[in-house]
A and B are shown apart, each in its own frame.
Chain A
Amino acid sequence: MADKEKRRSGVPPSGMPEGKAPKSDSDGEFLSQAGVGELLRGAILKMVEARSDDPIGFLADHFCNLASVTEAGRAGCDDGSQLSNGPLSSGAQEQQHLNRALWHLRLAHHSQRSAFSNNVRVAYDLLNFTQPCRRPGEVPEGPDDSCNDGPTKGGGGGGGVKGGLYSQTLQCLCSEGGVPASTSAPLLQRLHCQDHEAVPYDVFRHGVLTCAVFSDYIRQAQRLYAEVCCPDEGPASRSLCLAVLGTLKEALETSQGCDAKCCVNANCKVNSCVEANLKAIRYLEASAKISPYKLAQAMSEARTRGPGGNMDAKEFENAAADLFITRVKVLS
């Protein structure tokens, strides 16, 4: 690369005509003019928020994404002035917004609630802006700007994200999460919105969070199957798998009981502290039910009796997915 050549000497050029003070002055000016301070502050905040394991990779992606957004933003403006709202360019723009929204959703794991919620908000606003009645001046907005904005109050966006775009987002989230399309299809069916519907923020957030948790869940289920089956001996025995699935189901029921209870009590808003404790206890109970000890117990019982035959990984995955999907609430 050409720039590598230029970096060859770390020593600044000696023939600098000015003294030190004016140089650093102009440097400061240059940096503030180019907005470097703002740029780096935004990047560091994002990085600290996401606590990525690979901070360098995170920054590389972050700046690449920003650069492509600003470059595309400039190009988009030009496009807009030449062929206003041509069907092709609006489709491409939609795709671009979808990509950016997905990028934001990927930034933080859903267990980091505040970061994740921020990113869902940003993604929602981005997708909401894709409506055709958008003012051109809003195009080059940096991804960080909208963090603290209200939900698209003043923007040109419509009353919500288009249903089709919402479904597409969920689909991408699942496939990026490593979930095979056949496994995620029933979930997507359940969360599905009609293409013409406008999806409000709550529904959007619920769907996104569900898909994120589902991806994690399916990965765990796949790992669980790998534990049950010995790779040399072919597929795992059906009775073992059923025992594991049974344990999983029991645990899910335990944790769900807590959800239902909390929903009822949330309206009263009395003794919220006690409620929180109860909730925590239920979760602990649930996790105790899928503890290695419990699993081992169930499996050793199943080994002696239970149906013969085998269960392959796909069947196990589907069964586990089914347990999850039947417990997904549908918001309307």
Chain B
Amino acid sequence: MNRFNSSVPADEYLADSNVLVYLSDAVTQLLEHKEEYTQFGVIRYFAEYFSSVKNSNHVLFREYNYIRATAHNRASFIRVFWRCYRQIGKSGDLLSMLEYRSLLQLLCPDFPVEMVQNAARIVLMEDAIDCLMSFSDFLYAFQLQFYYQEFLDSVLVIYQDLLAGKSPNTVIVPTSIEQLPFAAAEDNEKEGQQQDGVDSSTLAECIDALCDRFKHSHPSRSCMKEVLEQTEKVCYYSFLMSLAKQETINQAIGALPSKAELLIDPEMDQELDKIIAQISVSPGSNSSGSAVGGLKEVQRKASPRRNIHHRRKVESDGSTEETDSSEN
């Protein structure tokens, strides 16, 4: 119980809590599926709805506008994504941007490709967007991009203004992601300039002012400051890459464990071992059976496929091995 906040006005409390978003969604869902949801009673329906929100199961298979509606929904979706596809990280497979998009669309049918592209740009430093990425690299970049989308969009606008030598004070905060493909096209034109980036301290100042407008929905100021202090000049995507690797930011979002623990899941391992044991008993059967079966061919080409019998060994050192792709 929050005993010190009773002075907060009721409407402010309600607005901060995002409860109204969930209440109206709950009612909308109820109306769309009246017959089904009311057979156990309306109260039970609301109890189930809010329990699922509480347990972060509520974003599964929902539309994009819903999964990005609140910070809790975003964190929940990131977590769901991680939990569903952790095994990809374990097997050490590298996937392309489009493959990650397919995975995301299995969880959220209308997940926009722009979001995935932006995450991929963070990992690949924007140049080679067709390259393959390890699961953990992509995951942390995706987390940053998805969770702080609006903030990062504004940072990009500021960055581009600084690059063009404009005063960043005239910046208009973009409200939708539609502007991004355009921004990306612009990037390519100015590639020569982008090599050096902008002055870190100027960018830091602008970002600090930007944070004031974003209330809480930005990465921690001290973290961003720390990153920007490391170099004199900075590029947008290398700045984002550094942010994506910050454990403080990861903890603040609270959806994912630290990188070292990302792939540890003893329960799932046991289950998989059982399944693998069954498969090896019946030699004729195909080892695919997962939701990503359709991607298999591409994966095979993409990475030297490890033999199932060597899987154990790969897992033990997999977490450190696959971080290399971005660090080079």
- Residues of A whose CB lies within 8 Å of any CB of B are 1, 3-13, 27, 30-31, 34-36, 39-40, 43-44, 47-48, 50-53, 55-57, 59-60, 62-64, 66-67, 70-71, 108-109, 111-112
Contact = CB atoms under 8 A, between A and B. Distances in A.
B6 to A, nearest CB: 5
Contact of B1 (A36, A48, A51, A62): A51
Contact of A48 (B3, B14, B53): B14
Contact of A6 (B5, B27, B36, B57): B36
Interface stretch (B59-67, B168-176, B181-189): B59-67
B8 interface: yes
A10 B41 contact: no
A55 B19 contact: yes
* A-B CB proximity, top 4 nearest: A10-B63, A63-B47, A60-B50, A109-B1
A12 to B, nearest CB: 6
Contacts, number: 111
Interface in B1-40: 1-3, 5-6, 8, 10, 13-14, 17, 19, 22-23, 27, 29-34, 36-38
B5 A51 contact: yes
Contacts of A7: 29, 33, 61-62
Contacts of B43: 39, 63, 66-67, 70
B54 interface: yes
27 contacts: A3-B48, A4-B57, A5-B61, A7-B33, A9-B63, A10-B65, A12-B32, A27-B31, A30-B34, A31-B27, A36-B27, A36-B30, A39-B43, A40-B23, A43-B46, A48-B14, A52-B1, A53-B1, A56-B19, A56-B50, A59-B19, A59-B50, A60-B47, A63-B43, A63-B47, A64-B51, A112-B3
Contacts of A111: 3, 6
Contacts of A59: 19, 22, 46, 50
A63 B61 contact: no
Nearest to A43: B46
A11 B17 CA distance: 26
A47 B19 contact: yes
A287 B33 CA distance: 57
A30 B31 contact: yes
B37 A3 contact: yes
A55 B41 contact: no
B42 A35 contact: yes
B158 to A, nearest CB: 33
A63 B65 CA distance: 26
B22 to A, nearest CB: 7
A244 B44 CA distance: 51
A50 B6 CA distance: 8
A210 to B, nearest CB: 18
Contacts of B90: none
Given A9-B109, A59-B50, A34 B38 contact: yes
B19 A39 contact: no
Contacts of A40: 23, 27, 46
B47 A56 contact: no
- The residue among B6, B30, B37, B63 with the most chain A CB atoms within 10 A of its own CB is B6
Contacts of A9: 63, 109
- The residue among A5, A56, A108 with the most chain B CB atoms within 10 A of its own CB is A56
A60 B44 contact: no
A8 B6 contact: no
A57 B19 CA distance: 11
Interface residues of B, number: 44
Contacts of A51: 1-2, 5-6, 8, 13
B72 interface: yes
Contacts of B27: 31, 36, 40
A41 to B, nearest CB: 10
A166 B113 CA distance: 61
Given A8-B109, A9-B109, A56-B53, A67 B47 contact: yes
A7 B46 CA distance: 15
Given A5-B61, A59-B19, A71 B44 contact: yes
A50 B42 contact: no
B107 to A, nearest CB: 11
B31 A44 contact: no
Contacts of B22: 56, 59
A193 B211 CA distance: 58
A70 B72 CA distance: 30
Contacts of A12: 32
A31 B29 CA distance: 12
B202 to A, nearest CB: 39
B42 A66 contact: no
Contacts of A8: 61, 109
- The residue among A5, A8, A30, A63 with the most chain B CB atoms within 10 A of its own CB is A63
Interface in B94-150: 109
A3 B41 CA distance: 14
Contacts of A34: 38, 42
A101 B31 CA distance: 33
A3 B62 CA distance: 12
Contacts of A62: 50
B36 A3 contact: yes
A71 B38 CA distance: 14
A55 B32 CA distance: 25
A10 B66 contact: yes
A154 B92 CA distance: 71
Nearest to A12: B32
- The residue among B3, B46, B66 with the most chain A CB atoms within 10 A of its own CB is B46
A4 B60 contact: yes
Nearest to B54: A60
B54 A56 contact: yes
Given A50-B1, A111-B3, A4 B61 contact: yes
Contact of A44 (B19, B30, B38, B49): B19
A1 B60 CA distance: 10
B47 A64 contact: yes
A6 B13 CA distance: 32
